[in-house]
Structure 1
Amino acid sequence: MTGLCDARSAPNEFVEINGRRLAYRSVGEGRPILLCVRFRGNMDSWDPAFLDGLAAEGFRAIVFDYSGLGLSSGVPTYDPSEMVRDPLDLIEALQLKEVVIAGWSLGGLVAQIVVASKPGQVTHAVLIGCGPPGPLVKTAEQLFYDTAGIEVYGLEEEEILFFEPKSARSRAAAQASVARIASRTEARSRPVPIAFARAKLGSGPRNPSFPADHVLEALKTTDLPILHIGGDHDIIFPVENWYALNGQLPTVQLLTYPSAGHGPQHEHPEASAAHIAAFVRSTRSAI
């Protein structure tokens, strides 16, 4: 079933594969872009304006709940090397072709593993507010760990985690985005259990935060086009770590928004969708 409605009304759909039931939604028609969500995220963590923007650009935007979380069954995990089974199984179950794999934050690590392990399954990768594998030149801020484990995020926590609190424009964008996300009032997904999330969070910054040498090697040798969209003040995955790899990643393009944080696609939803569309239209891999 293709998504013929907007993000606020897209129905929950389900597919049975490899012993579990994966929940997903589709918005729009066209080239599939499969979006892997952030830490503590579910299908309702995406800004409807961003998903509708992708649909307006000719994509079929597909969001889903990871195994065992939200409305999906199975065993939950936050190990990206295991989480990668979910997007790969969805590609198979939905018989998707010419797929753009995308991921935000933790989901961006999952998307990178798709690139490293199954590059033939996708044509492009879009990474949002995530970090590269390997040693870091700038680590996360303790403020992220102190905030991310709070049970219920209010507007202040949303600003800290995903926007730039120092910027009045960013704070206004946070308020607007939070309102859009809350505007879907029926058939919402279930929150990620706080005990599960806290157990996986950790107490402070790590270096590296994504120790995956084989993924870094893949990024250095792939011909798959990759776009990273970031904010210039991302408190968990500083964008400086991507710029430190200049000259080493042959296909990675970097788009960095000023006075923005960890959720640039929510601060600039339509613009981010337009940039993704231009990137996909203007680049191609050799697969």
Structure 2
Amino acid sequence: MELKQLQYFVVSADMGSFQNAAKMLYTTQPHVSKTVKALEDELHLKLLVRESRGVRVTAEGKKVYDYASVILKNSDMIGRINEENSAKKLAVAVMPGIRLAQVCADFYTGQEGKMQFSMLQGCMEDILGFMHKHVAEIGFVYVSEHQLSALNQTLEHKRLEFVPMKETRMALIVGKNHPLFGADSVDEAELKNLRYIQYAEDYFSLIHHLGHLNDSVRRFSKMDDIVTTNSDAMLYHMVADGALCHLGCELLIRHFHEKVLHTIPLTAEEDGIIYFGYVKRVRDTISRISAELIEYVNQNI
């Protein structure tokens, strides 16, 4: 029995005729028919019923089809092992941030040779889950200084560690059609009357820890109809249209589409610092490609 015989049988069953199978396999109809007949003779089974309009799979053929499909799939996976070993691999998890996603994409496009690149996005709890389960090698996150101690306790339990890279602050992001576009500052009275779109929240969400805004923003009457999303694209378009604003990390939006989005820093001391950095597993050595990404992000964020 040869893999070619199984392939020709499976494709013939899928396409419903030897003629259509021959087109898919770039060969001739008689060759397909002869190859499938050789398989039937070897198995002593009737796999296909030849009819005027094509072929029909028999009961025995359906059983062989299921097994043959698995064999062909596994054969293909085995054939890819060498290719996978020769390609660079990078799995990274990131918290939402329009600029961060763009920087990671730029890093990938700048790589030479083959590279298997996976980027997962989620809230802090998602990122820690990806890291703990070895789904990602590193995870880029941001956290308020008010929550850093709680984060470190969580990381210790999961045998992870946070490596700070940069410090930043909270900011209000508005679109070009918004009345505050171009403003240098915004006062609390104005913040109370704005409508917001925020990333889906968890315990470490920045909006939970805004210092003096934490007491004020939560009382804003219009916060009841706040839009939440885990999509960078949705947040970008709704802010860019000017209908909604976003309270987020200044570092991850600053200088991104400045003609469309405008960043207004919230500089009150009680707001505190936001730390941006990456999470890694304590016992693991970071791969060369991950180290290159970390350096690239550090230079371009």
Specify if TM > 0.5.
Answer: no
What is the TM-score of this pair, normalised by structure 1? 0.29
Q: Could you say which structure has the higher strand fraction?
A: 2
What is the TM-score of this pair, normalised by structure 2? 0.28
